[in-house]
C-alpha cells in the first residue's frame, strides 16, 4: 500500500553500505513460519501479484488519523488546483470547523460509533511500528477488552475489520482463538465481504484448532464461493497453503454432488477421516453403476460451471484441479471403457482452451499430462498451441515443466515438437540456466531422466505416463529422444559458442555445458574454441576475476571433456560417450594448441585448485608419440621440482601421470 500523501518514505541503506545496522523489528514467529504464497499461474505476467496482499491492516494509521481529525481522505489525496486565488484564513478556519462538526455528527449517527472510535485510539498504539513486544501486547490486551463480545457487530466495517486483523496478527493464541470462536457461524458471510475476507484467511492460517470448523461452514457453498469475486481467494489459500489432507476433502466434497453431501458420514472420527482422505475413490468404492453415474454427472456439471466462467479466476485454483484430476481418474477406471473414453473426451473439450491455467499445480499438471498421453495427434497439437506462449514460464515452474517433459516423451510427431516446443525452450537459455528448474528444462532436451540431474522422485513422476505411451506410441523411446536431441542441438551449441566464456563461471551452467558438449549432435569446434580461449588467459589472474581452472566447477568441466565422459563412482571408471557425438582426442589436441605451455605449467606450479587434476587428465588422454613428447617437454626437470616444492592439490597424481608418459 502506498504511503499517505504528505509523508515521505525513507529507504533503508543497503547492507553493504557503511554506518550502524538498523535494529531488527519485532517479528511474530507464528506469522513468519506461515508466510506462504500460492503457486502462480504461468499465464500471469512475471511481476503481477496473484490476489493482492492478505495483510490489509498495514499502513492504516494515516487513514485513521485523517478520520479522527475530521479530514476528508479524498481531499487529502487530491492535488491542489493550479492558479487558484488564495483564500481568506479566517474563512478557511470557520469552514474547517463546520466540516469537522458535520463529520462528528455523521460519525455519532453510525452504529457502534463510540466503540469504533475507542478501538481506533487503542489500535493506533498497538499497531505502531517501533514498539517493544511487551508494550504491543499491553495495547493488544486493551484493544481486546474494547471489542470483546462485539466483534460480529463491527467486523464487516472497512476500518473496524482492520482493527480486528491487528489483534489476530499481533495477539497471542488466546486472543486469536477467542475471536475465532466469537465469529462462529459468520465465516461464509465474512469470506464474501470485501474487507473481512482478509480476516478469514488470517484465522484459517493462525488458528489451526478452529480451521476445520471454519471450513465446515463453507460446505454446500464451495462452488458458489469459488465463483465469488472476494471469497475465491479465501478458499484457494485455505486449500493450497493451510489445510491438511482431511480438511482439503471438506472443500472438494461439494464437487461430488448433493447426494454425496447428504449421505456421507461426517462425524469427524478417524475412520471417517480415513475414508474421506480417499476422496472420490472412497465415495465410489462399492457404489452401484447408477450411483456412480450420478456422482460423475454431478462432478462434470460442477466442473463445467467453473470452466464456463473462467473469467472469475477459479480455473487457476488447486482445489478445482484436485476435483478435475479425481474425475479423470474415476473416468479412466470406468467399467465401460467406451463410456469412459467419451467422458474423457467431453471434459477435454470443456477445458482445452484454458489448459495453461492448470499446469502450475501438482494435480493440474497431472491432468494436462494425462490429456497429452491419451490424446490423439489432433488433441496434442491443440495442447501445444495453447501452451506455446507460456513455455518459458513453464520451464521455471516445478510442476509445469513436467507437462513439457511429458510432451517430449509421448508425442511421436517430433517435427511438430521441433517447430513448436524446442525453440521456445532453447531461445531463453540465458534466463533458464540461472535457476535449477530452468537448467532441468534444458537438460531434458539432451539427457532426459538421467540420475545425474533428476531425482528418483522426479523420474518416478515422469514414468507415470510410460504405460499409456507404450500403447499409443509408434516410436521407441530411444528414437524419439535422439530426434529431440538433434532438433535442439544446433541452438544449444551456438549458445555455448556465444556465451560459453561467461557460462562456465557459473556452477549450474557449467553442468549444462558439459552435457551439451558430450551429447549434442553437430560440429562443436567453435564451442570448444570458446571454452578453451577462456582457459588460455594468462595464469594466475587477479582475485576478483579468477582463472577458470581455479573454479572447481569449471575445472571439472574441462576434466570431463578431456576424459570423454562422466566418471562413474559405482564402477570406478569413466562412462565414455560415443565418438560420433564427442571427439575427446580432437579436444585434447585443441587444448594443447590453444592453452599452450606457459599457462599449463603455471596452473600446475602456481595453482592451488584444479590445475594439477586437469593436466593429469590431459596426460592420461593424450594420444600419439609426438604429442606425448611435446607434453613431456613442457614439464622438464625444473618444472617438476617446482611442482614438488609447491602445495598444489593433486600434485602427486600429476607427477605420477607425467612419469608414465
| pLDDT of 308 over the 70 cut | yes
- Distance of alpha carbon 478 from alpha carbon 436, whole angstroms: 25
Q: How many CB atoms lie within 10 A of CB 212?
A: 15
| Percent of all residues in the chain with a pLDDT value above 70, rounded to a whole number | 84
Residue 570 falls in which region: left (phi positive, over 0), alpha (psi -120 to 50) or beta: alpha
Pairing of strands 573-576, 565-568: antiparallel
pLDDT of residue 557: 95
- With 0-12 CB in 10 A as exposed, 13-18 as middle and 19+ as buried, what is 646? middle
| SS3 label, residue 568 | strand
Chain CA centroid to CA 380, Å: 26
| pLDDT of 64 over the 50 cut | no
pLDDT of residue 103: 66
Of 422, 415, 387, 381, the closest CA to residue 403 belongs to 387
Per-residue pLDDT, averaged over 605-632, amounts to 86
Phi, psi (degrees; rounded to nearest 5) at 480? -65, -45
Residue 19 falls in which region: left (phi positive, over 0), alpha (psi -120 to 50) or beta: left
Per-residue pLDDT, averaged over 530-544, amounts to 85
| pLDDT of 554 over the 60 cut | yes
| pLDDT of 584 over the 90 cut | yes
HEC-encoded secondary structure of 492-560:
HHHHHHHHHHHHCCCHHHHHHHHHHHHHCCCCCHHHHHHHHHHHCCCCCCCCCCCCHHHCHHHHHHHHH
- Distance of alpha carbon 69 from alpha carbon 72, whole angstroms: 9
Alpha-helical regions (H) of 285-413: 289-307, 318-332, 337-351, 362-374, 377-387, 391-395, 400-410
Q: Specify the higher pLDDT residue, 485 or 14.
A: 485
pLDDT of residue 272: 65
pLDDT of residue 44: 82
| SS3 label, residue 223 | helix
Per-residue pLDDT, averaged over 272-294, amounts to 81
> If residue 566 lies in a helix (H) or strand (E), which one and from where to where?
strand 565-568
| pLDDT of 531 over the 60 cut | yes
Of 488, 490, 515, the closest CA to residue 414 belongs to 488
Per-residue pLDDT, averaged over 591-597, amounts to 92
Task: Quickly count helices (H) and strands (E) in the chain.
Answer: 40, 2
| pLDDT of 393 over the 50 cut | yes
Beta-carbon contacts of residue 536 (< 8 Å; ≥ 6 apart)? 594, 595, 596, 599
| pLDDT of 544 over the 70 cut | yes
HEC-encoded secondary structure of 143-196:
HHHHHCCCHHHHCCCHHHHHHHHHHHHHCCHHHHHHHHHHCCCCHHHHHCCCCC
Top mean-pLDDT range of 44-48, 539-543, 559-563: 559-563
- Distance of alpha carbon 361 from alpha carbon 357, whole angstroms: 9
> If residue 439 lies in a helix (H) or strand (E), which one and from where to where?
helix 436-446
**β-bridge mates for residue 565, sequence order:** 576
Chain CA centroid to CA 304, Å: 28
| pLDDT of 332 over the 90 cut | yes
Phi, psi (degrees; rounded to nearest 5) at 542? -75, 165
**β-bridge mates for residue 568, sequence order:** 573
Residue 319 falls in which region: left (phi positive, over 0), alpha (psi -120 to 50) or beta: alpha
**β-bridge mates for residue 576, sequence order:** 565
Q: Are 122 and 143 in contact (CB under 8 A)?
A: yes
pLDDT of residue 464: 95
Provide the grid cell at 168: 489476530
pLDDT of residue 624: 85
Beta-carbon contacts of residue 392 (< 8 Å; ≥ 6 apart)? 424, 425, 428, 431, 432
Top mean-pLDDT range of 81-95, 225-239, 638-652: 225-239
Per-chain mean pLDDT for the chain: 85
Chain CA centroid to CA 238, Å: 18
pLDDT of residue 648: 80
Amino acid at each position: 500500500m502506498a504511503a499517505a500523501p504528505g509523508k515521505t518514505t525513507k529507504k533503508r541503506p543497503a547492507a553493504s553500505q557503511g554506518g550502524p545496522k538498523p535494529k531488527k523489528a519485532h517479528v511474530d514467529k507464528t506469522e513468519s513460519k506461515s508466510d506462504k504464497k500460492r503457486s502462480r499461474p504461468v499465464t500471469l505476467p512475471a511481476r503481477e501479484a496473484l490476489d493482492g496482499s492478505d495483510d490489509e491492516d498495514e499502513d492504516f494509521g494515516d487513514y485513521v488519523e485523517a478520520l479522527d481529525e475530521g479530514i476528508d481522505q479524498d481531499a487529502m489525496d487530491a492535488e491542489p488546483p493550479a492558479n487558484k486565488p488564495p483564500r481568506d484564513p479566517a474563512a478557511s478556519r470557520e469552514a474547517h470547523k463546520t466540516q469537522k462538526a458535520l463529520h462528528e455528527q455523521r460519525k455519532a449517527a453510525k452504529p457502534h460509533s463510540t466503540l469504533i472510535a475507542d478501538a481506533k485510539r487503542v489500535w493506533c498504539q498497538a499497531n505502531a511500528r517501533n514498539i517493544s513486544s511487551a508494550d504491543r501486547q499491553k495495547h493488544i490486551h486493551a484493544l481486546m477488552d474494547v471489542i470483546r463480545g462485539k466483534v460480529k457487530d463491527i467486523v464487516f466495517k472497512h476500518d473496524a475489520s482492520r482493527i480486528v486483523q491487528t489483534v489476530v496478527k499481533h495477539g497471542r493464541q488466546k486472543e486469536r482463538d477467542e475471536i475465532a470462536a466469537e465469529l462462529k457461524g459468520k465465516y461464509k458471510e465474512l469470506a464474501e465481504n470485501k474487507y473481512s475476507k482478509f480476516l478469514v484467511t488470517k484465522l484459517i492460517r493462525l488458528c489451526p484448532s478452529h480451521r476445520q470448523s471454519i471450513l465446515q461452514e463453507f460446505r454446500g457453498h464451495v462452488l458458489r464461493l469459488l465463483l465469488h469475486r472476494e471469497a475465491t481467494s479465501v478458499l484457494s489459500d485455505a486449500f493450497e497453503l493451510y489445510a491438511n489432507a482431511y480438511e482439503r476433502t471438506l472443500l472438494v466434497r461439494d464437487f461430488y454432488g448433493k447426494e454425496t453431501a447428504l449421505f456421507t458420514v461426517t462425524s469427524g472420527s478417524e475412520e471417517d477421516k480415513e475414508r474421506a482422505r480417499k476422496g472420490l475413490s472412497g465415495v465410489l468404492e462399492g457404489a452401484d453403476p447408477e450411483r456412480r453415474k450420478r456422482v460423475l454427472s454431478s462432478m462434470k456439471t460442477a466442473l463445467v460451471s467453473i470452466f464456463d466462467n473462467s473469467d472469475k479466476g477459479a480455473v487457476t485454483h488447486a482445489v478445482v484441479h484436485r476435483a478435475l484430476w479425481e474425475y479423470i481418474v474415476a473416468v479412466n477406471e470406468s467399467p465401460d471403457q467406451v463410456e469412459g473414453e467419451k467422458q474423457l473426451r467431453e471434459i477435454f473439450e470443456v477445458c482445452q482452451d484454458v489448459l495453461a491455467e492448470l499446469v502450475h499445480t501438482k494435480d493440474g499438471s497431472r491432468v494436462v499430462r494425462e490429456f497429452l498421453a491419451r490424446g490423439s495427434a489432433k488433441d496434442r497439437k491443440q495442447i501445444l498451441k495453447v501452451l506455446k506462449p507460456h513455455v518459458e514460464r513453464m520451464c521455471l515452474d516445478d510442476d509445469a515443466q513436467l507437462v513439457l517433459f511429458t510432451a517430449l516423451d509421448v508425442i511421436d510427431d517430433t517435427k511438430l515438437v521441433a517447430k513448436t516446443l524446442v525453440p521456445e525452450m532453447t531461445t531463453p537459455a540465458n534466463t533458464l540456466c540461472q535457476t535449477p528448474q530452468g537448467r532441468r528444462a534444458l537438460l531434458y532436451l539432451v539427457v532426459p531422466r538421467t540420475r545425474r540431474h533428476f531425482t528418483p522422485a522426479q523420474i518416478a513422476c515422469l514414468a507415470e505416463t510410460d504405460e499409456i505411451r507404450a500403447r499409443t506410441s509408434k516410436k521407441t523411446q530411444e528414437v524419439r529422444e535422439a530426434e529431440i536431441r538433434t532438433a535442439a542441438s544446433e541452438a544449444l551449441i551456438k549458445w555455448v559458442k556465444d556465451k560459453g566464456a561467461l557460462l562456465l563461471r557459473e556452477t549450474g551452467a557449467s553442468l549444462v555445458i558439459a552435457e551439451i558438449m558430450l551429447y549434442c549432435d553437430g560440429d562443436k569446434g567453435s564451442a570448444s574454441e570458446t571454452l578453451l580461449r577462456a582457459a588460455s588467459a594468462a595464469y594466475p589472474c587477479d582475485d576478483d576475476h579468477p582463472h577458470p581452472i581455479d573454479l572447481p566447477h569449471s575445472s571439472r568441466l574441462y576434466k570431463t571433456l578431456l576424459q570423454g565422459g562422466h566418471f562413474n563412482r559405482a564402477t570406478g571408471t569413466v562412462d565414455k560417450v560415443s565418438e560420433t557425438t564427442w571427439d575427446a582426442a580432437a579436444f585434447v589436441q585443441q587444448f594443447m594448441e590453444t592453452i599452450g605451455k606457459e599457462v599449463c605449467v603455471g596452473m600446475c606450479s602456481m595453482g592451488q585448485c584444479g590445475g594439477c587434476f586437469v593436466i593429469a587428465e590431459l596426460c592420461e588422454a593424450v594420444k600419439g608419440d609426438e604429442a606425448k613428447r611435446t607434453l613431456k617437454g613442457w614439464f622438464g626437470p625444473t618444472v617438476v621440482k617446482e611442482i614438488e616444492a609447491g602445495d598444489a592439490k593433486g600434485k602427486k597424481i600429476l607427477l605420477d601421470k607425467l612419469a608414465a608418459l
